[in-house]
Structure formats: structure tokens, C-alpha cells
Structure 1
Amino acid sequence: MNKPEKKLFLLDALALIYRAHFAFSKAPRITSRGLNTSCVFGFTNAMLEILQKEKPTHIGVAFDSSKKTFRHEAFVEYKANRQAMPEDISIAIPYVKKLVEAMNIPILILDGYEADDIIGTLAKRASKAGFEVFMMTPDKDYGQLVEEHVYIYRPAFMGKGAEKLGVKEVLDRWQIQEISQVTDMLGLMGDSVDNIPGIPGVGEKTAQKLVAEFGSVENLIANADKLKGKLKENVVQFAQQGLLSKQLATIHLDVPLDFNEEALLHTEPDKPKLSALLDELEFRQLRRRLVGEDDSEPSPFPVAPAKPSAKGQMGLFDEAVLAPAASPAANASGTEGLPFTFDKKPGVGADISAFEKGARPQAIANTDDMQSDWTEVEPDDRQPEPRRTIDSVVHDYRLVDTPALRKSLVHYLNQQDTLCFDSETTSTDPVEADLVGLSFAYRKGEAFYVPVPADREEAQAIVEEFRSVFENAEIIKVGQNLKYDMLMLKKYGIEVQGKLFDTMVAHYLIEPEQRHNMDMMAMTHLNYEPVSIETLIGKKGPKQLSMRDVEIQKVVEYAGEDADITLQLKDTFLPLLEKNQLTKLFYEVEMPLVRVLGDMELGGVKVDMNALAELSATLETDIRQVQGEIYELAGGPFNVGSPKQLGEVLFDKLKLDSKAKKTKTGQYATGEEILTDLEADHEIARKILDYRELVKLKNTYVDALPLMMSKHDGRIHTSFNQAVAATGRLSSTNPNLQNIPIRTPRGREIRKAFVPHSDDFLIMSADYSQIELRIMAAFSGDQTMLDAFNNGIDIHTQTASKVFKVPLTEVDSDMRRKAKMVNFGIIYGISAFGLSRRLRIPRREAAEIIQEYFAGFPAIKEYMDGAIAKARECEYAETILGRRRYLRDINSRNMTDRSFAERNAINAPIQGSAADMIKIAMINIDKFIRENRLKSRMILTVHDELVFDAHKDELELLKENVGELMRTAIPLAVKMETGIGIGENWLVAH
């Protein structure tokens, strides 16, 4: 039989990328810009090896889809133990896709399927079409696909030459009789990398013996009575797990795609695109090999003429969207810059006429029709428009550095309806930073930069010149992260007045789960890539410059661009806010909150250093004591902080192997979930959890807080993040107050260190009582819950009475505990499995509790079902004020993704409405404090709690009004309750 002349190579991209990652891990390739290109380099060399040596007539490169697959539906824990993808791999994948596209090789990808399924399907169909097929991968699982004319091609690696594995080689490798038995081996052994469980106690040698004797997993299970001892027990007990593991390991050959021979034809690369990419990656030798010193040199690969892009031809390249080519470096106008000068005395009619309201210099390019670079590529092979940059867009950014020019700028700024401003500073910490300059923009393509000297008096004088602009309440102020810029100005005595428009917060409302930094938003919405700050001051570290050290004209361009692009983003986001009915939430809640949070940050909170020092010493004693107890239980000392040593003690020495799992590196997993599961088996697990919490308390909070004190006022100034949590809740950093572990006595003691700023003040704490449960009662209209809340009946006792069908007076503490867990768990879509784990009760009992809960509170079930149905229709959930949480997986065929979206459909309106409520309360309380000119200040917000530095003379007034303003922030059909405490520190007050 003649060997077919057609040769197809199918490359498993991610497997080859990982292989390159490990090959270069000790000696990575780094470009002059700091980019790790090791994975791309290794993949490129592997691909070139087969192109030159094997000379395939046809080729394709398969990628895993980012979506979860049918295997996750069959087994939720599939690949659950995988460690996070190394950063150099996540960086490499887009570049590899660019490379493959530049080589005119089709990218093979399909949502819901893995690369091996795509390769397997195409390999089998190509074989029947007369091809010799080589699956290029180091993955052993591909052995199940090998047959006549279908081979594994394992590329050369670490000194070992390339291998071609046919039927004989695969059978010899596994010591089996038939290729079909590869999946039986994999099903019995399992795979720790993909978290395929297999049958416990069965390794490769045992699996070989079992397959040799019984032929298949199914036949082994049917004849389990012929086995003995622990092996028989495991096969019987884990029979279904073994069958599931075989199913998970089986590569599917029915992927819905056609084998298009023409689309896979190997053709000439796209030389200009390939040349530009190799230059960017600094692969100089590869560039010479592939495209020569210039594009006129012949290609090293004599292949068919170039074909149109494969995207769209085969109907399976759903994710083959590639990043755009590099932006042109030349100025679009063909000039290096626009020679604007201010030689004449400024004023009306002088050469500063571009300041005039409504005027537009003719040299400014029209950029109204900017569009996203992710526009879908049509089959006619059109490419995305290159991203615009400061070098390719005509602009006019001017330096305003004399008293006369500043006066004229102030004059024209005060004539505007809307202006954007931005501050350049010496630090990202507004409390510690000094002002370096201010930039302004009120017309697209044009901006003005005002430098500010280091001398504080001179700086104050220049800032003072712009007071009338900033305090002009008729002008809308636009900015990116306005809270920072307003804080900087407040340090110079300037209170920004007028309506605010923060582009970061606007984008947060429009797309809450995306990134909201200016660079990303500009690239996504304006197809514009701003100048990187690192090009001016360098990377973070001891050698990083201050903005004052940068050449002034570079600062003018950078700062002017910031203001200009931010103004353009405002014009883009405003219609989107209106379209999504978010303007009321934006202007009446989020924008007023910017001022409130800024004042809280600038005021800071005093921390008692002595209290922290005492707690640190106590924690050190506690840590040593618990460590000694762990040593005693373990039978000797070891490094408790070492996951490797801990795993060996737990699973090798103490034989707690019923819960043993291994990570990709081969070490035992010792995370919190594993240890929690082990608590019932051995006391050491609880001690280790205690040890970890004590160490975290000491290192993350107690010893770290003194280092966060401001050198200016000795206080801690946490940063409140308004645009982070997709739910609408506020978060905080430096320190992260939301994560202080307060469920243990030692954790709660940290609050003891937060104290009033003087003896005339006390700490007052006010928090909502069961806010989310009350909101759920209001949303669902469940009469039993509403009656309980409105009549002061304990909701957990009421729930226990319904669930366990006993009178309120007969509810005991255990019943109430279980009911409390259900009450809070229902909001988050808790399952019977989850409830059984939390309560440590059988799953059947947990399921019965949930069933009785819904029977007792039928309106809750109706609300949940209705919330999911509504979300399925519009693909988002929204709060009482219209805050949206987009749920793009709510109609997914993937059960795991869909279930997660359904839980958010139930919870997001409740949790988001709670966030809306406390935000409105903060705004109203701040207004009350200002209008009454109180000495007291609001200093912290944590979850559903507000903390005040309260003057002793104002305690009763503050207590009465804060509680009322919190309870009435958003009127609902349920009675809201608050708890208010007062004390000499936060712990006592709470």
C-alpha cells in the first residue's frame, strides 16, 4: 500500500507552550523592554523544526477554549487543583496566536472543547481522507488516538531527539494489548494534573496488571469479587468514580466541525506581519531565517501561495481574535509636532486664541469616529485598525509656565461648561505626595499643562491662581479617579465645587467586572494606547524617578494626553450611562460619595501603637504555644509554614490519606479547605488552622499597621476603593479593613488599637442589623419574614420554628444555629452539599432542612426563581437603584458557569442594594455633619458598619441622627435596624 503523499501536522499549542516554559525556566529570554519571550521562542522553534524537517503539506494549531467544557459539566472538580497559569505563559498565548496568524496557519479553537478533542476529531477525519497525520504534543493521553496513519510526534526536548509514536510504540509504552485500553489505564490511575480521581490505591503498575487480566474498567468492576483485600474494597466503593475517570480521560471525536483540507494547506507566511512581530519579540536570528534582512529574500519554506485568512473558512475558529499590529510611529500629519508658541503678551486676541470657548484649531484631527480594535474581522481579510497613539494622532498639548499664560488660561477655563483636570504628583499616596503639575482639557485633541515648583509657598501661590476655576460650581469637573486629584487640591486648601464626572466610576457602573484604569479604557473604547508612565519614570523600584526628574516637554505630552483622553472617555461613557439608565445612580450616589470618601481618607484614623505592641507580644506567645502543640501531635518538630513538610507530616507520617490531594508540582495540597475537612479526623488540622490565623494576624495587621502611619500626622489613611467589587460594595487597601479576622478573640483585639484622635472624643460604631436578610424579606414580600422583622422577633428563631416545626418557645440553640446558617446561606444559593459541610451534618439532613425552609417561606423560593428567570431574559441583575451585575453565563450550556450566574442573579440585587443603602446613608450623614458644623467625623466604613470619631459633647445628637439616617436611607417594606455603640476604642464601641 502506497504511503499517502499528504502530510498533516496538528499542534497542541498549550502543551507546547508549557513545555517551553519549563525548558527556559532557569534561563528565561527577556527583551530590552522586560518582556519574557521564552514560551514564544520555544514554541516557534518547535514549529520551525517540523516545518523544515518534516515539510508538512497541511498544518493547524489547536488551542483550548477559555470557556469551561463538557467535562466540567460531568465532573465539577475537573482540573480544579490546577495552579494558576504562570504569568509568562499567560503573556505568551496572545503572542503565539499572533505568530501562528502571521505564519498563515489556521488557529483551531471551539468553545466547550479542549485542543485534544479538536485534534482527535480532525486527525481521524484526515486519516480517512488519505493523510498521514502527526499530532504534535508531549501529552501521553493522545496515545488513545494512534492508529494506522495517525501518530504522536513528540518534539525534541532537553537533549532528547524527536519521537514518532505509532501503534507499537504506544502499546509498548503502556504495556497493553489494544490502543483502546489507554483510556482504561487513565481511568484507573487518574490524573492529578487534571484532577481526574481514578480509583484510590491504583498506580500504573497495578493498572497494567488489572487491564491485562480484565481488559477494561467495566469488566474489572463486573468481576470485582475476584479481587482481594483493600484493592477489592476500593474497586467496589469507587466503581462509578473509575468509570467517570475513564469518561473524563476519553478524547471526544465528535466535535462539531468539518475537515477542510484547503483551509489547512501550508502556505507562505505574511512577511510584513511576521517581520514586525519578530522585531517586537527581538527574535533577530529567527527573523533573518524566516524573512531575511529584507522582504525580498526568498522564504526558507517552498510551499503553496498565500491563501486568505483561515478565520471564518472552517467555521470553528470562534476565538481566533488576534491583537492588532503595532501602531505607526510616525506623526499622522507627517510632522514632528505643532509649533505653538506664546511670544506675544497673552490676552483676548493674542496667539493664545485656542483657549477661546468653542474654538477649534484647524490642525486638530477629527477623532470622533474612533472605534474598538476588537471589531470582528470579516472573511475579506480586513485587519483591525491599528491603535492610535500620541505619535499617530495630531494633538496640541501646551506648556503654560508664566504668570501671564496662567492668567489667560484661568480666564478661558472659567468660561467652560465642562473641563477635565488631572494632577501630576510625586507619589501615588495622596497623603504623602506633593503636587508637580496640573493639566486641563476642555476640547478634544487639546490640553494645557501647568508645572508647579517643589517649594511649598511657590506651589501654593500657583495653585491659588486656579482657585476660581476649581471652586466654580457652574463648571462640571471631569477626571479619572477624581478622589485622588481632589485630595491633592484639598491639601492646598482648594475644595473642588460643581458637578463631578469620574470616568473610572462611570466605567465601573457600565462594566463592573472589567478593569477601569485609563489605559485599558482608552484602548477598549477609543482604540488609543496612551503613553506608559514607565516610559517616563521607569519601573517600580529604588531607581524609579520622580515626575519632577522628567524632562518638562515629556511631562507636557504625558499629562496633556491624560486630560485629553479622559475628556474623550467622558464623552463616550455619558451616552452609555443614559442608555443603561444609570445616570441617577451615578450623579446622586457615586459622585457625591467621591467627596465623602476623600474626606475620610484625608482625615485618617489614630492607632494606639502601645496596644499593637502588646498584642504583637501576646500573639508571639500564642504562636509558640500552638506550634509546640502541633509538634507534640506530629511526633516531632518541622516547619509548620512549609506546605511540603506539612503535607509529608499529615499524609505520609500520620497517614491521613483519605483527603490527600497533590498539586501539579507533586506536593500534597494543604489549603484551608483540605485542613477543614481533616478536622474531624485529627486534632492537628485545627491547630494548624489556628497557627495560620495567628501568624496572619501578627504579620499582616499587628506588625504592619505601624509601618502604614503617615509621617505627616501619625495617622493611618486607608484607601477606600469605589470601583473594585462588582457587587457595588466598597473595599479598602493599606490596610484592608474588610479582611481583619474578627471571628476570634485575638482578631477582634486588633480593633482595640483604633482610637479617637484626642481625649475630647470617643469612637462610635453604627452598623446595620441583618441588612441582607431584611432586604430579601422586602424583595420577596414573604409575610412571615416581614412580620418577624417588623415585630422584633429573632429571625433565626422564627426560621428554626418553621423548619423544625416547633413553637418559638421550643427552639433550642442547635436548631437556631442551623437555621442561621440556612438564612445566610440561602442568599448565596447554598446547596445541600454546602450546608452539610458547614453544619457537619449528613447531606440528606441538609437537603431536608432546605426543603422545609422553602416550604415555610414559599415567597423566598418564588423570589429566587423569579430573579433567575428575569436574569435569563436580560442577562443581568440589578439593585433597587438600578446598579447592574452582568450575568453573561446565565444561559450557558455549561452547568458550572450557569449555576454560578444563577447564584449571582439571586444575590446581586440583595447585596448590591445593601451597598446602595449604606452609600446613601454615608452621603446623608456627611451632609448632616457639615450642615450642623459638628466636630465629629466619619472615619471608617467596613462592610455594613460606619465608624466615627465622635466629640463627647455631640454624642447624643450624633447617635440619634446617624441611626435614623441609616434606617431611612432607602425606604423599604421592612423595618431596618441599627446597632450603635460608643467606647474608648473600636473594639469597645463595636
Structure 2
Amino acid sequence: MKKLFLFDAMALIYRAHFAFAKTPRISSKGINTSAVFGFANTILEVINKEKPDYLGVAFDTPKPTFRHIEYTPYKAQRQEQPEDITIAIPYVKRLVEAMDIPMLILDGYEADDVIGTIAKKAVRANPDIEVYMMTPDKDYGQLVEERIKMYKPAFMGKGVEVLGPKEVCQRWNIANVDQVIDMLGLMGDAVDNIPGIPGVGEKTAQKLIEQFGSLENLLDNTDQLKGKLQENLINFREQGILSKHLARIMLEVPIEYEEEKLKATPPNRALLEPLLEELEFRTLRKRILGEDEPVVAKVKASPKVDANQMDMFGSPAPSTATTPDTEEEEVSTTSYSNLSNTAHQYHLVQGENAIKSLISFLDRQDSFCFDTETTSLVAIEAALVGMSFSYRKGEAFYVPFPEDPAACQAQADLFKAIFAKESTIKIAQNIKYDMSVLRNYGIEIKGATYDTMLAHYLIEPEKRHGMDALALAYLSYEPMSIENLIGKKGAKQGNMREVELNLIKEYAAEDADITLQLKPFLDKQLTTNPKAVQLLHEVEMPLARVLSTIECEGVNLDVPFLQEMSKTLEADSKAVQEKIFATAGQEFNIASPKQLGEILFEKLKLDPKAKKTKTGQYMTGEEVLTKLEAEHEIASLILDFRELQKLKSTYVDALPALISPKTGRIHTSFMQAVTATGRLSSKDPNLQNIPIRTVRGREIRKAFIPRDENHLILSADYSQIELRIMAAFSKDESMLDAFNNGLDVHKATAAKVFHVPLEEVTSDMRRKAKTVNFGIIYGVSAFGLAAQLAISRTEAKEIIDQYFVEFPKVKTFMDQSIADARENGYVETVLGRRRYLRDILSANMNERGFAERNAINAPIQGSAADMIKVAMIQIQDFLERENLKSKMILTVHDELVFDAHKDEVDYLKTQINKIMCEAMDLGVAMETGIGVGENWLEAH
């Protein structure tokens, strides 16, 4: 997925200006450059860390907008723009121009209108693009959807926040993002002088929207309210409607979406150099242009090592001081250390004798750090370009590998013994990737391992864990960027084999050296939580090895089946399209919200209260269509059409293209350090997302087949694992009794909540109880439960209240989890995995509520993740110990999938069930569902 970043210039300029209010940056000419500096840093941080494919910066203009014309007081109360910001704006525009980033400006429209319009056009025009709107402005929440997210910059110690629909809804405590403008219409916005309804603040607005769904519905039902609130809603009805109108971001700005013009390109040095010189931004000059303004002290040369220079491997550790060459030179003012201003000895190791000598020194160490340089980020396809090693600070060794496959393999064979040595600890950053690459050459890493990425993941699960970020945070060191070697990501990016040898030596050796230096800092932080140390060495590190094995095995795909399914989906799409046209009485573009809205709400008149944008375009999202299904057949047909289109493009046509030409199978990449809860995720392809909820979606699983005729697919899935963990944590006797006696827990819950004998529980009662059981874990509200079950909020509240009466220890556990989070600032899983909840004491009700729900859910979901990880480690150990032909090939949430040899199926079923159920003793019976079939669907 490609990234488009759209920056709200004025919001970021103001933010940067006030961030430096107490300690402004003043140039030698007396100019306050704080806003320009802060803005530049923000842009650069995104470019370096997020690697956007497309960029655009939107500016407001002095010309009045339709909001000023329709409501004269709009923004009229704002204080006069600070003089320093007025001075800064032209500099910022020059900076954006020099960075070769398009400026998006149109008189009569605000930056948020421009960004909103471009964002929506981008995702409609390109299904392979994801838009990030960089702004601190909360109003942008109304624009968020699956591929359009808010990207709130870091502020006051709080890191970057990426907000999708789920996060926006949680932040505002609303059901859908469309309700952001309902909230603003009620509350108003003091910053923009939008009046809202007098006496209505955030809490009252949230309650009203929860009850009535929208501002319009609320204003049409004021008879259900009383007192001053009712009076204000009646008297200020038009003011509320106007406020919502003013708060709505326009999505039809007459500005073209020109994707090619938004492509990220290198800066224009001719414009940038004199600007940075004028602003006296020496540090930024280095970061952007890759060179220091002052000359830095030279470092000791890094000699090539050959058979006649063996003493290099045993040389003393280099001095931490820089060594001038012949005369005293100016020290760099760069804020971070880097290769150019830090003493280091990085050696090039070539020739068999030199390599063997290096290996002999590695063999004497208790531990060493290593890193691989390869031709691809896809491990199964990657060929070795080189390996780097370090075993003491400031010194490292780079070994280039020949391009010829046979010669490369012969050189790789030299390293087999040192990686197989059990007593030596091997240190790396993202070691799973290196393990997988080395497997391509028959090299197995044995003994203890240490991954700096995983160590930091356990320390700060929600922060970035890349080596560059860790180096900046712990060592105040800025490593060389890969883009300095092979260019920016994209079609023009080069290959590591094309890089000049001395340059790749510096880059690769630095990786090993810096990773080695990070370990003691991470160890010190890890020891503040002894459970985290154990979790790293007994779960995450062994799991990395297991995941590498699974990834290398890959999954067999039935391509002819998918090709036939593609044809069927295409035919079905056309058939459904014809039905839609027949039902509508005309042909139209089903993918066009504008045309679809006109058909549904003007021609067919399905909903007289249908929501519109201010430009008259109707809302036609899934939620709207789902509500219309009972009213008219066309809504169901459109939902069917959209599902068919998505299944075909996202899965059926896409999966065959991801088959490895080397193995003929699909090899996903599992990510250990992404989710804050500890759950695994996967990418390229994301096999965690294979559809399961619809009949058509489930059919895709038929394409996942055994590796050959001697194998079957075996699926083993934990049954209700999170509910069982909830029972274990709460120690609620009723829940424990149901699970330990093999009862249907949802039926048992229904019997208690609805006060009927077990045998009299109806399917509808069980359905409601099941929804409550799982909803409680995620802090479901009466509003949320009512929406899920299509019942009144009153009935939903009664069900939840009765649930807590019948299961009082569940409520006690939930309250205690929140209390513990408030006291400690975090919650823990059974194995000590921590989730930090920095907003648990927030004065903001929505932020605090989100943290409280996480305080309940994180220990449960995290413990479930811990359990399946432990089970995976034990199962892989069992498969290898027994020398079985069967292989573990996938993990999806609470499910494990195997290529099971037909001769081993019965034994596997017994042993896998035993291992999974006994992986962790929580005092509650665990249960699995195990199936076997000719494909994944049949097995599942």
C-alpha cells in the first residue's frame, strides 16, 4: 500500500510556533525561526520515518471562504496572527518549494477542505493508496475511513497518533465518524467561533448523539427532553444546524487530484541550500542534504583486511575521541552523533583466509552481533550481498559475498559452525529476517539469541522499534540512511549489489556496531520488569525461530480454483449489476456515491431523512445500506456487488501474484512487534485477513491446500479462549463451572441472565448472551449492544445490568483492572506483558474511557496471545523432536494450521490438542476444535 501524506500547513505552523514559545530560536539577524524550524522537522520526520510515496502541503488563503460569507462571525474572534508567524509563512512556503513538495492552495477554501477533497479523490482513484492527513485539528476526524487516517504529530511527550475510524469513534465516544460533525454542531468550536447550542458541552453532546444518533434526529425529537436543555435545543435549532454546516469539511473543492505531481522527489538543492543558510539551520542541512555545514573531525581510516592483516581482529577497542588528521578542525554542531563525527573502526574482510580468521575471533566471544545485507526484503527470495559482525563497541567487520550462487554458497558454508555454536549468544535487530535469509543457505542459528527490536517491543510496545529510532533514543546517534545507498523507495530504487564496496561496508558495519551498543541499554530497562526478561528469552526469542520456520515452509495455493472463482465472481458481479440496474430502472455508476445517492434517495425515495453532505451528496456507506436492506432489495444488491468486487480484487486475483517463483508457495511475513496486545499480525500477504464471516468469503479458504497428495490440511483452533481467560482472571464460579463442566457457556449465560432453565434457552436468548459475553471483554456499552442486537438501549442496559448481577466477580475484575491501571499506569498479562495506559487519568472523558476499556481487554487479549505463542513453541519443538513429516504452516489469531502427513494425522490431533490445552495452566479448562480436510475451509 502506497502512502500519501497531506499536511495542514497553518495548523502545523501554529503548533511549532507555540512549542518554542518559552525558548524561541532567534537567528543572528534577529528573526524568530521557531515556526519554520518546527515545521521543517515535522516534514522531515515523516519523510525519514514513514517513507511516503506522495506528498502535498495545503495552505489557507487570506480570501474569505463560503463559511465567512454565510456566517460573518466565523473565526472573527481570533486574535491577530502573531507577527512572528506572519514572517514565518513565506519562509515555510519557500521551504516547501525547495523540498519539491506540491503546495495545495485555492482561494475561497480552507486547507481542510482541500485536504478532504484530495484525500477522498485519492482513495477512489487508486485502490493501492493510503492517505494520512497530518494535523492536530480534531475536525479532520469526520474524514477518516479505512484508507484515510489522521496522523497527529507528537506533542508534549506524547508520541505520534494515527487515527482510523475505530480510534476516532473511541476518542469521541461515538458510533461512527459521521457523528463528529454532529458533536461539533452541538458543542460548537470556540477556536473557529462556531456557536453550537448554548449549555451543551462534550459530555452532554456525547449523550445526546448516543441517544438520538444525529443532530437532526435530536432536533426533531426535543419532546423527549426537558428543562433548560430542551429549551435551548428548540430556541437555537437553526444555530445548531448552521454550526454543523460550518463544521462540515467540503469534499467538492474544484481542485484536481494529480497523482504524478504529488510523487515524492528529492529536494531542489539550488533552492534549499541558500534558504537553510539564510535561516542558519545547520543541523537540518545535514539531515536533509547529507552534509555538515562545518568540517568535522576526521576518523581513523577503515582498512581492508586480508590474509596479511590478521591482527585487526584482535586490535584494541578504538578511542572514543576523534582524531584530527593534521590540524585542529571545527567540531560539528549536529545534534546527533553519526559516522562523520564518531570514531569507529569498520573493516572490510575479503578472502577465505581473512574470513576464517574473523570466524576464529567470533568463536572466542561469549556473544556477537550480526546483520545481513540482501537483495530483497522478502526473505525467501533474498540473496546474500554481505554480512557484518561486531563484538565490541566502535568496531565491526563487513564480509561481502560473491554474486555467483555457487561461490556465495561456498562462502556461506564457512559460517555454519559459528552460527550453530550453542554457547554463543547471537544478537541482531529483527533476527527473524536474518534467520530466514540464512536458511536459504542451509545455515541454522542455534543456541541463545537476542533481538533488540523484540526487547524494545516488551519495554515500550506502542513505540517504534526500528534500529534508527532506537539509536536516536538511546544513543543520540543517527545511523546512515539506506536511501543514501540505493535511493528512495520506488521503481527507481537501486540494489545493494550496485553500491560501492567501501560505502556498503560503512553502512552494514554500522548496523552491527550500533545494534550491539543498544543491548546494554535495553537490558537495563528490561530488568525493571523481571517478567519481561523471562518473556523475551522464553517466549519471544524462541517464537522468532518458530515463525521463521513457518514462513519458510509457506502455504500451497490452488491457482486453478482461484482462476475459476475469479470468473464466477466476475459473472456474479455482472448479474448483480444487471439486477441493480433493473431495480433502479436505469444504468448508472454503482461505484459513484453521487450517482448511487441520487438513485436511492431521489428516484427511489428510500429515506426522506437521508444524510447529505453540504454539497448535496448523499452518504451511501455500508452502515447506511445495511439499515436500508429491510426496506428495499436494491440495498442488499449493492452490498452484494461491493462484496463481490472486493473479494475478486483483494484476494482471488491478488493471491496468485504473490506466489514465490522459487518455491511455488505463498510466504507471508509474521510481525511480532506491531500490536500493543502481543498478538501477531502478518503482511505480504496479510493472511490474518482472509474473509470468514460471509459464505463467499469463506470459499477463498478452499484455495489453501496441502503441499502434495500425501498431506492434508489440519486446523486447530482455541475455543472461546478470551472468555475462558476472563473466567480465570475473575474467578467467577458460574463461568468456571460452565467451562470446567463442558457446558455451552453462551447457553449457560442466557439461562442466568434471562432466568430460565437451561433447556428452555431459545436460540435468540443464546445469541444475545453470546454477544454480551464477548462484548463485555471489549467494554461494550448499552448503545453498542443495542446496535449489535438491533434492540432498544433500554433492553440492552437491562441485559448488561443483569449480567453483572449474575456474574458479580466479572464486574469486580473489571473495576480492579481499571484501579490497577490508575495506580501503576499499566496492566499485565499472565506472563507479565505490559500495556501502558498513559491516558488512564486523563481529564478528557473519551481518552480516559478508551484507556479504561483497554485496562480490561489488554490483559485478556494479551494473555490469549501469550498462550498461543507458548503453544506454537512447544508444538514446533514436538514436531522436530519426533522428526515428523508434518509442518506448521500458518497462525491466524487463535488458530494454527498444518500440512499434516496422512500417516501422522491421528497422532497429531491428539498431541496438538494436548499441547494447546496445557500450554499455560490458568485454572480453567481449555478446549480446541481440530479439523482435517483437503483444504483450509474443509479443515476449519
Where on the TM-score scale, by shorter chain, does this alignment land: which range?
0.7 to 0.9
In 1, Cα distance between equivalents of 2:339 and 2:656: 43
Give the corresponding residue for 1:537.
486
Q: Is the 8 A contact 2:10 2:60 kept in 1?
A: no
Q: 1:243 to 1:664 in 2, by over 3 A?
A: closer
Instruction: Return closer, same or farther for 1:84/1:675 CA change in 2, 3 Å cut-off.
Output: closer
- Following the alignment from structure 1 to structure 2, what is the Cα–Cα distance between the partners of residues 633 and 907? 45
- Alpha-carbon shift at residue 341 of structure 1 (Å): 4.9
Partner of residue 780, structure 2: 830
Answer yes or no: is 1:973 the counterpart of 2:923: yes
* 1:592-611 equivalent positions in 2, closer than 5 A: 592-611=542-561
Conserved? CA contact 2:336–2:472, under 8 Å: yes
1:928 pairs, out of 867, 873, 878, with: 878
Query: What does residue 774 of structure 1 align with?
Result: 724
Match of 2:566 in 1: 616
Q: How does 1:567-646 map to 2 (within 5 A)?
A: 567-581=516-530, 582-646=532-596
- Paired residues for 1:797-946 under 5 Å: 797-946=747-896
Corresponding residue SS for 1:579? coil
1:673 shift after superposition: 3.1
Match of 2:625 in 1: 675
- Alignment pair present for 1:511 and 2:460: yes
Tell me the distance in 2 between the aligned counterparts of 1:324 and 1:750: 51
Give the whole-Å Cα distance in 1 for the aligned partners of 2:808 and 2:424: 52
Q: What is the Cα deviation at residue 197 of structure 1? A: 10
Q: Per the alignment, do residues 543 and 930 of structure 1 end up closer, same or farther by CA in structure 2, a change over 3 Å counting? A: same
Q: Distance in 2 between matches of 1:437 and 1:420?
A: 14
Pick one of 331, 353, 359 that aligns with 2:314.
Answer: 353
Q: Is the partner of 1:477 in helix, strand or coil?
A: strand
Task: Name the counterpart of 1:456.
Answer: 405
- Report the CA distance shift for 1:241/1:507 in structure 2 as closer, same or farther (over 3 A): farther
Q: Distance in 2 between matches of 1:181 and 1:772?
A: 43
1:469 to 415, 418, 429: 418
Work out which of the residue numbers 426, 438, 462 in structure 2 matches 1:489: 438
**What secondary structure does 1:764 align onto?**
strand
Distance 1:920 1:641, change over 3 A: same
TM superposition shift of 1:353: 3.0
Deviation at 1:543, TM superposition (A): 2.3
- Of 374, 377, 383, the residue aligned with 1:425 is 374
Q: How does 1:101-500 map to 2 (within 5 A)?
A: 200=216, 282=271, 329=292, 334-335=297-298, 337-338=300-301, 340-342=303-305, 345-347=308-310, 350-354=311-315, 359-362=316-319, 386-500=335-449
Shift in CA distance, 665/547, structure 1 to aligned 2, threshold 3 Å: farther
**1:56-112 CA distance string (max 9 Å, x none):** 99667999xxxxxxxxxxxx9976413489999969999xxxxxxxxxxxxxxxxx9
Cα distance, 1:391 vs. partner?
A: 1.4
Contact 2:306 2:353 in 1 (8 A): no
Matched AA of 1:507: H
Structure 2 counterpart of 1:441, one-letter code: S
C-alpha contact (below 8 Å) 2:306/2:350 kept by paired residues: no
- Tell me which amino acid in the other structure corresponds to 2:487: G
Query: What code does the residue aligned with 1:966 have?
Result: M
Aligned with 1:81: secondary structure? helix
Q: Are the structure 2 counterparts of residues 814 and 589 from structure 1 closer, same or farther at C-alpha, using a change threshold of 3 Å?
A: same
- Equivalent pair of 2:307/2:353 in contact (CA under 8 Å): no
CA contact (8 A) 2:370 2:512 kept: yes
CA contact (8 A) 1:81 1:663 kept: no
Q: In the alignment, is the contact (CA less than 8 A) between 1:439 and 1:449 conserved in 2?
A: yes
Aligned to 2:106: none
Go from structure 1 to structure 2 and tell me whether the alpha carbon gap of 1:553 and 1:765 turns closer, same or farther (over 3 Å shift). Answer: same
**Distance (Å, rounded) in 1 between the aligned partners of 2:835 and 2:762:** 39
Mind listing any 5+ residue stretches in structure 1 that lack a counterpart?
A: 1-10, 21-27, 47-53, 64-75, 95-111, 114-138, 146-179, 204-217, 224-234, 251-277, 296-321, 367-382
CA distance in 2, matches of 1:555, 1:546: 11
Aligned residues of 2:885 and 2:901 also touching (Cα < 8 A): yes
CA separation of 1:85 and 1:572: change in aligned 2, threshold 3 A:
farther
Which runs of no fewer than 5 residues in structure 2 stay unpaired?
Answer: 1-8, 17-34, 36-42, 65-78, 90-136, 156-170, 173-187, 220-226, 248-266, 324-331
Identity %: 51
Deviation at 1:38, TM superposition (A): 6.6
Task: State the Cα deviation string for residues 936-968 of structure 1 (Å, max 9, x = none).
Answer: 111111111111111111111111100000000
Given the superposition, is the C-alpha separation of residues 247 and 878 from structure 1 closer, same or farther in structure 2, using an over 3 Å criterion? same
Shift of 1:815: 0.6
What letter is aligned with 1:711? P
Q: Which residue of 2 aligns with 1:718?
A: 668
Q: 1:397 is aligned with what amino acid?
A: Y
Whether the 8 Å CA contact 2:422–2:447 is kept in 1: the answer is yes
Between the aligned partners of 2:865 and 2:333, the Cα distance in structure 1 is 40
**In 2, distance between residues paired with 1:220 and 1:856?**
37
Secondary structure of 2:380's partner? coil
Query: In the alignment, what sits opposite 1:554?
Result: 503
1:701 deviates by: 1.0
CA distance in 2, matches of 1:608, 1:522: 45
Q: CA deviation at 1:596?
A: 0.6
| 1:903 positional shift | 0.8
Segment drifting more, 498-507 vs 672-681:
672-681
Q: Is the 8 A contact 2:471 2:518 kept in 1?
A: yes
Q: Contact 1:330–1:392 (CA<8 Å) still a contact in 2?
A: no
Q: TM-score, normalised by structure 2?
A: 0.73
> 2:31: which partner in 1?
none
Separation of aligned partners in 2, 1:469 and 1:925: 27
Q: Per-residue displacement from partner, 1:363-391 (whole Å, max 9, x unpaired)? A: 6669xxxxxxxxxxxxxxxx998022221
Q: Report the equivalent of 2:658.
A: 708
Counterpart for residue 148 of structure 1: none
2:197 touches 2:239 (CA, 8 Å); kept in 1?
no
Give the TM-score normalised by structure 1.
Answer: 0.70
Bigger radius of gyration, 1 or 2? Answer: 1
AA at the equivalent of 1:435? L
Q: Distance in 1 between matches of 2:920 and 2:151?
A: 44
Indicate the larger mover: 528-537 or 422-431.
Answer: 528-537
